[in-house]
């Protein structure tokens, strides 16, 4: 298996370092808003990759965090006049529902706010090792000192001068150098805070991922992944923090997924050019979206437009139609399966694999089609085996969200509609129970 390593700039042979187990960390959602299809591209790529690792006989322990405290979360909660914790929980639950519909593998999803102790301990280690300093309750990472001793910019392939020219520099009079970044932010009136040796405050963004990945996976990680837009400053700073705190290599392989673009620009909330994942899934199947998001090589940018989903819906329908005629007990073509696996072993080349799949439809045999079915299921496609009572599950989830938002009128309406069609909802301390009464 060969994967492109952003750190070295080349494809390298990959295998897990310890116990036949791949230990991987993927930067997850900052839960300030609804997940969009740009997020889904990153998470779908890694979901399919982890599934392939399992097919190769490796175990996978994967972590995908929730950043549930952040400037944007605080700001949006203030705009809506609600508690920041409620806002974060709302969008975490929305992501979890989208992930369920997308058939993502279950992963460990730690929250940043559940790891304040680990964050504080890591920051203290960085201070003790001489790579951070405290000013008026803020703790800043000393970039130039770390650069002299370890080298900084090795992931982004940028010099300090280039970083100064293009960095999103965080201005603050307590910093010794404009490049220094926050490990701990001193408390401001009206903001949430935790206690620390440096006073009340909250963690910076980058340190959260360093602490959570180290705690749950140990060092070094086999793979650290995310979108290409995270290479600098987020992932560069994660490397610096973790190595400054521990003196150990942080991650062996760095994998970055290309951008999902719309009209040539990165799909992002700041540009307001994004498409909400749950709205796409209300119109198209998870298989259709998964097929689209895996249709380009993961390192390439992928242009998205809603009409494109129709093309992929037709492609998925063609696959399902061909596979419906193949008995479940049909034997697979081992040689054809090896060809498909060879494509994925070469830096997870899904478009090459899909090309082979569709060529099999042009000259189908039962064994080749059985192989196509097994391969697609391995990549996370359901192939028509949709979720049981999906509509009911979505209504129950919608009612739960309404109750959390104290929209009791909507919650009662959903309950009454379901009762009218023979489904009774019972709220218990263990959660909502569903009983069909006729």
| Per-residue pLDDT reduced to its tens digit, 187-206 | 999 899 999 999 999 999 89
For residue 387, pLDDT over 60 is answered with: no
Residue 232 in domain: no
* Confidence at residue 397, expressed as pLDDT on a 0 to 100 scale: 75
Q: Is the pLDDT of residue 134 over 80?
A: yes
Please report whether residue 244 resides in a domain.
Answer: no
Percentage of the chain lying above the pLDDT 70 cut: 94
pLDDT given for residue 431 in this prediction: 66
> Which range marks the domain in which residue 404 is found?
390-436
Q: Is 319 helix (H, G, I), strand (E, B) or coil?
A: helix
Q: Which of 362, 344, 363, 361 is nearest to 352 (CA)?
A: 344
Structure tokens at 19: 């116990």
Q: What's the rounded Cα separation, in Å, for the pair 199 and 329?
A: 65
Residue listed under structure tokens 């437009």: 305
For the chain, percent of residues with pLDDT exceeding 90: 76
Backbone region of residue 44 per phi and psi (left: phi > 0; alpha: psi in -120 to 50; beta: other values): alpha
How far is 179 from 309, CA to CA, in rounded Å?
Answer: 42
Pseudo-torsion of CA 264, 268, 270, 271, nearest 10°? Answer: 30
Domain membership flag for residue 410: yes
What does the alpha-carbon distance between residue 165 and residue 116 come to, in Å, rounded to a whole number?
A: 33
Segment 238-288, tens digit of pLDDT: 999 999 999 999 999 999 999 998 877 777 766 677 789 999 999 999 999
Q: What is the DSSP track for 217-234?
A: H-SSEEEEEEEGGGIIII
Does residue 157 lie within any of the structural domains?
A: no
Inter-helix orientation angle 37-55/286-293, to 10° = 80
pTM for this one? 0.86
- pLDDT band of 325, cuts 50, 70, 90: confident
Q: Which two tokens stand for residue 190?
A: 């009206």
3-state helix, strand, coil in the chain (%, to 5): 45, 20, 35
Instruction: Indicate whether 24 belongs to any domain.
Output: no
Least confident of 124-128, 156-160, 308-312, 423-427: 423-427
Residue 415: closest CA among 435, 386, 429: 435
Q: Is residue 417 part of a domain?
A: yes
Domain presence at residue 315: no
Q: How many domains does the chain have?
A: 1
Tokens describing residue 415: 């309950």
Q: Tell whether 419 is covered by a domain.
A: yes
């Amino acid at each position: 298996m060969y994967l492109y390593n952003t750190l070295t700039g080349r494809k390298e042979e990959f295998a897990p370092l310890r116990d036949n187990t791949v230990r991987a960390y993927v930067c997850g959602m900052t839960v300030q808003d609804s997940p969009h299809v740009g997020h889904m591209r990153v998470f779908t790529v890694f979901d399919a990759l982890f599934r392939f690792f399992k097919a190769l006989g490796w175990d996978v322990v994967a972590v995908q965090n929730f950043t549930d405290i952040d400037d944007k979360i605080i700001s949006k909660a203030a705009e809506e006049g609600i508690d920041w914790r409620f806002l974060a929980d709302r969008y975490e639950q929305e992501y979890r529902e989208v992930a369920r519909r997308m058939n993502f593998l279950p992963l460990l999803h730690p929250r940043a706010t559940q790891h304040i102790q680990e964050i504080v301990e890591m920051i203290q280690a960085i201070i003790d090792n001489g790579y951070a300093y405290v000013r008026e309750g803020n703790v800043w990472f000393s970039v130039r000192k770390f650069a002299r001793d370890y080298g900084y910019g090795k992931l982004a392939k940028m010099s300090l001068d280039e970083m100064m020219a293009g960095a999103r520099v965080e201005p603050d009079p307590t910093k010794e150098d404009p490049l220094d970044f926050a490990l701990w932010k001193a408390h401001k009136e009206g903001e949430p805070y935790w206690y620390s040796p440096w006073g009340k405050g909250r963690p910076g963004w980058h340190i959260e991922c360093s602490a959570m990945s180290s705690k749950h996976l140990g060092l070094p990680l086999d793979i650290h992944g995310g979108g290409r837009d995270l290479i600098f400053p987020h992932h560069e700073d994660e490397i610096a923090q973790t190595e400054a705190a521990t003196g150990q290599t942080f991650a062996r392989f760095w994998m970055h997924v290309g951008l999902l673009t719309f009209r040539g620009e990165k799909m992002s909330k700041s540009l307001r050019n994004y498409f909400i994942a749950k709205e796409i899934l209300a119109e198209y199947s998870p298989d259709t979206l998964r097929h689209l998001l895996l249709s380009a090589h993961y390192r390439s940018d992928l242009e998205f437009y809603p009409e494109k989903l129709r093309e992929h819906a037709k492609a998925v329908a063609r696959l399902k139609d061909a596979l419906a005629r193949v008995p479940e007990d049909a034997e697979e073509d081992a040689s054809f399966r090896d060809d498909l696996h060879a494509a994925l072993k070469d830096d997870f080349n899904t478009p090459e694999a899909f090309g082979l799949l569709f060529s099999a439809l042009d000259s189908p045999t039962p064994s080749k089609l059985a192989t196509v079915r097994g391969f697609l299921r391995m990549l996370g496609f359901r192939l028509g085996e949709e979720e049981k009572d999906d509509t009911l599950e979505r209504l129950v989830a919608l009612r739960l969200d309404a109750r959390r938002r104290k929209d009791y009128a909507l919650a009662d309406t959903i309950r009454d509609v379901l009762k009218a069609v023979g489904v009774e909802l019972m709220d218990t301390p263990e959660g909502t129970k569903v009983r069909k009464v006729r």
